[in-house]
Structure 1
Amino acid sequence: MKEEILGVNVNTENYDELIPKVFANIDEGKKSLVVAINPEKLMKAKEDAELKALLNRAEFQIPDGIGVILASKLKKGQIRSRVTGIDMMDRIVQEAAKRGKRIFLYGAKPGVADAAAKRLQELHPDIQIAGVQHGYEKDTQVVLDTINKAQPDILFVAMGSPKQEQWIEQHRNQLHPILYQGVGGSFDVLAGNIKRAPVAFQKVGAEWLYRLLLEPSRIKRQMNLPKFLVEVYRKK
């Protein structure tokens, strides 16, 4: 089930409801893209019709960001829980390990995907990692051939948004995997290069506040949240 926020469809389900749908698509061979939706992305999409269309073409748009939950409440909608990109990735990996599905990690600086894969193998010993490829390979055909040769079911792409979603949409019909997710900086978090907000901040949806405390220069970006909520209220 989906709900529209500033012209972009967003899934209303939580992790437990989404995972069976995601894996049903894998079993049916239905290629699917998981894209994380947050206020910053929605504000960009408001000004960028191409980005809005790209987000709406995705099969799953997860509500990543407390601002999306607040917007849904303002609209008297159904979205009640955040589904973050990194936690969705972890839940997909967890389920893939149970079902014998193979994953591939593409993106980030040389060595980062390898370290992330190693960490995932520690967290989920049964996971089948088909391969990794850093994001600095200039020859796209080499990347496509490397992924296809490994024959994964699931591809995680870490390039930053919307570049990663654009890359997936451009190439997924030439690629073997069925499920695709753009995961931003998640490889760096798994590799230990970037520290995630403490659990207390995660639970109340205040990871943005933790990042702001660490990097006060982000204040301009964080001003998008009140602007976003005002915009949602105006469109209500």
Structure 2
Amino acid sequence: MNNIVRILGSPFSKMTLNETTDLLEKHIQEKQSELFHLITVNPEISITSQSDKEFKQIIDDANLITPDGIGIVMASKIRRQPIKERVTGFDLLYKLLKKGNEHGWSFYFLGTDEDTNKKAVEEIRNLYPNVSIVGRQHGFFSKEKESSIVSSINKLKPDILIVAMGAPRSDKWIYTYKSDLNQVKLVFGVGGSLDVIAGKVKPTPELWKKLNLEWLHRLITVPVAKGQKSRWLRQSAIPKFIYQAILKK
């Protein structure tokens, strides 16, 4: 397909942010019954999928994979199938909130801690008053509570389910309950986006974005959540990606 480029075995979309938003808008507005699972993949996630067979299968079965990292864009150019721009979960969330404000879409926000989740939802309600936030739930729940959360989401029938539990946990959780989330039209993980919206984490300055150094800004400024690997350790995936996807090619 002309709109797909394979990098380390994963099929990345070559659509721009606006084109991706238009595709998702059409899916929601046409009230298609199939749950659309989108995954944003950066170099770190791409390397993780190489050794995690379960996660690789999840990526392969997703409806759309977007390039969330300058490394993905660079690798596509090496293959002479250039991706025009990154499509990050953060940018896509804001685009869909804007569209949702126009159309009156409904959202459910799942993930991060209780205080951050609550503050993020309050901020979204202030910024997008026509968006219907039908429910929210923090991400620190027990395995035993998962079925009741899924049942509650289905009863509320959100157009869009936003999951903010980090990668690959978010997409593994989505995949586990994919067939059960039959009242949701679109679902995708947004990493730490709710932390930014809530003001817990400072947004990346525009200059850093233009220089494609968002990863470095996060590395320096964003604290590591309890139980997660240090960001310095996680960034060791970048040289592996550069070798496997760019230099080796």
TM-score (norm 2): 0.88
The Cα of 1:209 is off from its aligned counterpart by: 1.7
2:23 is aligned to 21
Q: CA RMSD in A?
A: 1.9
CA contact (8 A) 2:40 2:89 kept: yes
Aligned residue number for residue 172 of structure 1: 178
Query: Equivalences for 1:199-210 in 2 at 5 Å?
Result: 199-210=206-217
User: CA shift at 1:87, angstroms?
Assistant: 0.8
1:86 corresponds to 2:90? yes
> Residue type matched to 1:40 in 2?
E
Q: Which residue of 1 aligns with 2:112?
A: 108
Q: Does structure 2 retain, via aligned residues, the 8 Å contact 1:45–1:52?
A: yes
* 8 Å Cα contact 1:137/1:143 also seen in 2: no
Contact 1:25 1:31 in 2 (8 A): no
Deviations 1:176-211 (A, max 9, x none): 211001112111111111122211112222111222
The 3-state SS of whatever aligns with 1:172 is coil
* Correspondence for 1:181: 188
Partner of 1:74: 78
In structure 2, what is the Cα distance between the partners aligned to 1:101 and 1:166?
Answer: 25
- Report the secondary structure of 1:173's partner residue: coil
Are the equivalent residues in 1 in contact too, given 2:201–2:222 (CA < 8 A)? Answer: no
Structure 2 vs 1, CA of residues 211 and 224 (structure 1 numbering), >3 Å: closer, same or farther? Answer: same
Equivalents in 2 of 1:86, 1:179: separation in Å?
15
Structure 1 gaps of 5+ residues are: none
TM-score by length of 1: 0.92
Rounded Cα–Cα distance in structure 1 between residues aligned with 2:89 and 2:72: 14
Q: Which has a greater percent of helix? A: 1
The equivalent of 1:228 in structure 2 is 241
Deviation at 1:142, TM superposition (A): 2.2
Q: Does structure 1 residue 142 correspond to structure 2 residue 142?
A: no
* Alignment correspondent of 1:44: 48
**Number of residue pairs the alignment of both structures matches:** 236
For the residues of structure 1 that align with 2:235 and 2:157, how far apart are their CA atoms? Answer: 40
State whether structure 2 residue 126 is matched by structure 1 residue 117: no
> Are the equivalent residues in 2 in contact too, given 1:156–1:181 (CA < 8 A)?
yes
Q: Deviations over 1:87-136 (max 9, x none)?
A: 11111111122122111101111132221111112222221111111122
2:57 alignment partner, SS class: helix
Q: Which residue of 1 aligns with 2:226?
A: none
Shift of 1:47: 1.9
Aligned counterpart, 1:97: 101
Give the percent of matched residue pairs that are identical in Structure 1 and Structure 2.
Answer: 33
1:234: Cα distance to partner?
Answer: 5.1
Name the counterpart of 1:198: 205
Contact 2:113 2:138 in 1 (8 A): yes
Q: Are 2:67 and 1:63 aligned?
A: yes
Q: Which moved more, 1:119-128 or 1:151-160?
A: 119-128
Is 1:11–1:63's contact at 8 Å kept on the other side of the alignment?
A: yes
Aligned to 2:5: 3
